[in-house]
Amino acid sequence: MNSLPILIRREFWEHRGSLVLAPLALCILYLLVCALAGAGLNVKMMEFGQQPSASAAFLIVMHTMFTVLLYLLMAVVAFFYLCDCLYAERKDRSILFWKSLPVSDAATVISKLIVALIAIPAVVYVLSLLTNLVAFTLFKILFHNSPPPPATSEWALSGWLQINGYLLIDIFVLALWFAPIAAYQLFISAVVPRAPFVFTLLPPLALIFGEALFFGTWHIGQFIGHRLGAVQFGPRAGRGVQDVIDTLNALPLLGRLELWIGVLLAAAVVYLTIRIRRHRDDS
């Protein structure tokens, strides 16, 4: 397992376009939008004599929208990465080179799982944190003559810290939650002879529409949708700022039996994937 850091770096080197450059490009685009939109907002406020609270509200909305977009991009990148990571090394026969090195199949498969579940979200988290700090600085410069009211400043301090604290913890909690999905994708990537994207989607779609056709129910589809993200972390009641922040807290998932059943299932699938890769070197 001492080779895990090197293997993780290998994944980012081989997929730097999708794992690093894509979210970085979105961050740069977001900063440009903040600079242009913030400047335009500042001009309008000076023309009509409006209060600076509008700037704080605009910053909160932009912060939320950008974070959601960045994490959606992360989910898409992780999905395609898992579809291709074990299949590509068989397709170009680079698996023969990696098998000649003193690196175990277990370390290789686990490193790819860590990249998808922890490393990619961690990179996105750091980029989001730094980008939002730069965006906040831009707005402070644009509105330096009219600081936001005390209530907004208090939210920006405690609420911002709490949101980012929850997002950091969520990386590890959601890694456990999505572990069976990532393990399933790794298994498909290690088994199929071609078109891993098609073979990844085909079994669940066949089960969903097969159930609907023969039984007239959608239980499998609802279960998959729930597992993919239609899960509520915090309480639904309330519309205050704290209630909105609490919905980002994924810690309650640790008390659910379904999470730990999924972890055990993921461990079994990962073990099977390791055994398959150990005997696969074809294209």
pLDDT 10s digits, 62-82: 666 777 788 888 888 889 999
| pLDDT of 109 above 70 | yes
Measure Cα distances from 229 to 20, 38, 208, 281 in Å: 23, 32, 17, 35
Nearest to 147 by CA among 9, 33, 64, 52: 52
Global confidence as pTM: 0.81
DSSP state of 237: -
Q: Where are the domains of the chain?
A: 10-278
Beta-carbon count within 10 A of 255 CB: 8
Per-residue pLDDT, averaged over 147-154, amounts to 47
Backbone angle region of 216, left / alpha / beta, with phi > 0 → left and psi within -120 to 50 → alpha: left
Residue 58's pLDDT band, with cuts at 50, 70 and 90, is: low
| pLDDT of 150 above 50 | no
Share above pLDDT 90 across residues of the chain, in percent, rounded to a whole number = 22
Beta-carbon count within 10 A of 266 CB: 21
Q: Which pLDDT score is estimated for 52?
A: 46
Which of 21-25, 28-32, 106-110, 268-272 has the highest average model confidence (pLDDT)?
Answer: 268-272
Token pair of 281, please?
A: 């070197």
| Angstrom distance (rounded) from CA 77 to CA 116 | 9
| pLDDT of 8 above 80 | yes
Rg value, the chain, Cα = 22
